[in-house]
Structure 1
Amino acid sequence: MEQVLMFATILAPVITALVELVKKTQKIPKKYIPFISFLIGILIGIVGYPFTDLGLTMRIWSGGLAGLASTGLFELVKKKNKVAK
């Protein structure tokens, strides 16, 4: 489980950047952003096989967790920037 969390921690900023790229290039309703983030996380987790020795199931879990975490990370930074202004 420790490897899953470590891999998810590494994936979260990458997924945040990819979701922002998708948001800037495609018109997507805000209510679908967490789902898009989750899907991108799963896809990146699957594609991440050269970087880890985790099995496919564990990479999918890591990607999904990272996708959900990246949505929370973005919202946290966004709220913090609003309070600072």
Structure 2
Amino acid sequence: MRARDGDGRDAAEAQAALGAVLPPVLAPDAVIYAPEIKYYSYRVPVDATWQSRDIPRLYVVGNAAGYTASLSAAALTGVIAARAIAHGASANVP
């Protein structure tokens, strides 16, 4: 799959391909968890709930966002995002 200027289509295509072999990932309440990725020099633009400023409803937590370097801080970003998702608190959701 080719990367495309951050429009989210590559992630949607990956989810559709995964759904072909594992249908539950296409459920409306499915959560997709990516493997650990460490980016220290690149920072994903996120809001206070760790939601991507570029792709609505995509939460980038842990070291992958580029803001944390410890396990405890990375874990806290997951807690913050989970609470935002559970409470529907993100202002970026249309």
Q: Structure 2-normalised TM-score?
A: 0.32
- Point out which structure has higher relative CO (alpha carbons under 8 A, 6+ apart): 1
Would you tell me which structure has more helix in proportion to its own residues?
1
